[in-house]
Amino acid sequence: MSRQPSRPKREYFQDAPFEPVAPRALKSLEEPNLGIRPPLFDNSPLQQPEATLKYVPSLPAVLSVVASPIERPGLHSPKPVSKSAPPETLQIPSETSLRPRPATPSETRPCVVCNDSKSIVDFPISTTDRCAHPVRTCLSCLKSWIASSMESKGWDKVTCSECDEKLDHEHMKMLAAPEVFARFDALSTRAVLSTLPDFRWCRAPGCTSGQIHTGSPSKNPIFRCTSCHFAYCVNHEREWHRGETCEQYDVRMALSKRSAKHIAEERASERTIRETTKKCPGQGCGASIEKNEGCDHMTCKACRWEFCWLCLAPFEPIRKKGNKEHKSDCKYYA
């Protein structure tokens, strides 16, 4: 009789208490471990595989517990979970909600210049980024202030209407009237370009163009404007002297100055003669007579004619008939 192989002896394990995974996960959410994700699975070895499979819920049921972390109650504000309470939704603040509430047009503020009560949107947030005071001047008055300062102080000395902080290019662009900013921009640009050693402005009347002119004045004395094609001498700062070098021009101008000086001296002498001398009124004489001192009764040395120095009336009738023979506009007439 053949022997039957012995079967392994079946062992029985004592049932151990087991807590389902999903309820344990929900219970862990009630603990005040903020921001810590609770373990959903126990890493300890299972003693009863069959019992475990019996109590583990289906995969969709487990995923439903952790599918939406934002809707999990108690994640950011721990509190007991009520079975009847609906799940709370976590509200994440947006970037715009953290900013200060913008002013509404209904808010008003008095302007210290015009004294009108205007909407707060009619005031700039700040005149400059360096001003430490509240803005009390409305935009309209600020534009007028900038335009007036441009005329009285100069383009580079415009300041805030309420302090001494200067307005730079960006402030002028935002606050000044368009035509005022255009003038400011042109003047500031000219000032910057004028600091360049090789930059020159065109000298033609009405031309506002400029350009880089390289080379020394002795080697490259002619500036030709690329805008209006005007040519001028950089040595003499005037229109180019055609047909002459700079040396020839200097010689000609020196001679001209001498001639001009001589002519000026002659004209001055003639003017002095006219102011200090008079022509003798004697018939056929006309000699120049200069009065140095003495009375107004004059006698020409050339023809011995006697006359009044002031009115040129002959003195013989005056001697016989009196002062009524002076001309009526003379101070001696009586």
| Number of domains into which the chain is organized | 4
- Which range is least confidently modeled, 84-88, 91-95, 134-138? 91-95
Residues 127 and 81 both lie in one domain: no
Residues 76 and 150 both lie in one domain: no
pLDDT over 60 at 101, yes or no: no
Q: Is residue 330 in a domain?
A: no
Q: Is residue 45 in a domain?
A: yes
Residue 256 has which token pair?
A: 């001209």
Mean pLDDT across the stretch 70-97?
A: 45
Identify the helix (H) or strand (E) that includes residue 320.
Answer: helix 315-321
pLDDT computed for residue 283 by the predictor: 87
pLDDT computed for residue 107 by the predictor: 86
Task: For residue 238, list its beta bridge partners.
Answer: 233
Domain final residue, candidates 169, 194, 219: 194
Q: Is residue 37 in a domain?
A: yes
Q: Is residue 117 in a domain?
A: yes
Domain final residue, candidates 63, 92, 121: 92
**Cβ neighbours for 313, distance < 8 A, ≥ 6 positions apart:** 307, 325, 326, 327, 330
Q: What percent of the chain has pLDDT over 90?
A: 31
Residues 146 and 190 both lie in one domain: yes
DSSP conformation letters of 206-259: T---EEE--S-TTT--EEE-TTT--EEETTTTEE--TT--HHHHHHHHHHHHHH
Residues 83 and 158 both lie in one domain: no
User: For 21-33, how does the pLDDT look when each residue is reduced to its tens digit (9 = 90+)?
Assistant: 445 544 544 544 4
DSSP conformation letters of 144-168: HHHHHHHHHT-GGG-B-SSSSPBP-
pLDDT over 90 at 7, yes or no: no
pLDDT over 90 at 84, yes or no: no
Mean pLDDT across the stretch 201-209?
A: 88
Strand spans (E) along the chain: 108-110, 117-119, 199-201, 210-212, 222-224, 231-233, 238-239, 277-279, 288-290, 297-299, 306-308
CB 72 within 8 A of CB 29: yes
Q: How many CA atoms lie within 13 A of 211 on its CB side?
A: 17
Residues 115 and 172 both lie in one domain: yes
Residues 214 and 140 both lie in one domain: no
Q: Is residue 235 in a domain?
A: yes
pLDDT over 90 at 140, yes or no: yes
User: What single-letter DSSP state applies at residue 203?
Assistant: -
Q: Is residue 332 in a domain?
A: no
Domain final residue, candidates 171, 194, 217: 194
User: For 315-331, how does the pLDDT look when each residue is reduced to its tens digit (9 = 90+)?
Assistant: 999 888 999 999 999 99
Residues 22 and 86 both lie in one domain: yes
Residue 101 has which token pair?
A: 């509430």
pLDDT computed for residue 168 by the predictor: 92
Confidence at 262, pLDDT banded by 50, 70, 90: confident
Residues 88 and 118 both lie in one domain: no
Give the CATH number for residue 189: 3.30.40
Q: In the predicted model, what is the mean pLDDT of the chain?
A: 76
pLDDT computed for residue 19 by the predictor: 52
Q: Is residue 79 in a domain?
A: yes
Find how far residue 137's CA is from the centre of its chain: 19
Find how far residue 87's CA is from the centre of its chain: 57
Residues 116 and 183 both lie in one domain: yes
How far apart CA 180 and CA 150 sit, in angstroms, is: 8
pLDDT computed for residue 45 by the predictor: 46
Residues 189 and 226 both lie in one domain: no
Q: Is residue 283 in a domain?
A: yes
pLDDT computed for residue 41 by the predictor: 43
pLDDT over 70 at 36, yes or no: no
**Cβ neighbours for 273, distance < 8 A, ≥ 6 positions apart:** 288
Interstrand relation of 288-290 and 297-299 (parallel, antiparallel or unpaired): unpaired
pLDDT over 50 at 198, yes or no: yes
Mean pLDDT across the stretch 69-91?
A: 47
pLDDT computed for residue 4 by the predictor: 56
Residues 79 and 140 both lie in one domain: no
How far apart CA 241 and CA 99 sit, in angstroms, is: 68
| Domain encompassing residue 56 | 11-92
Residues 70 and 148 both lie in one domain: no
- Which range is least confidently modeled, 17-26, 45-54, 269-278? 45-54
CB 126 within 8 A of CB 133: no
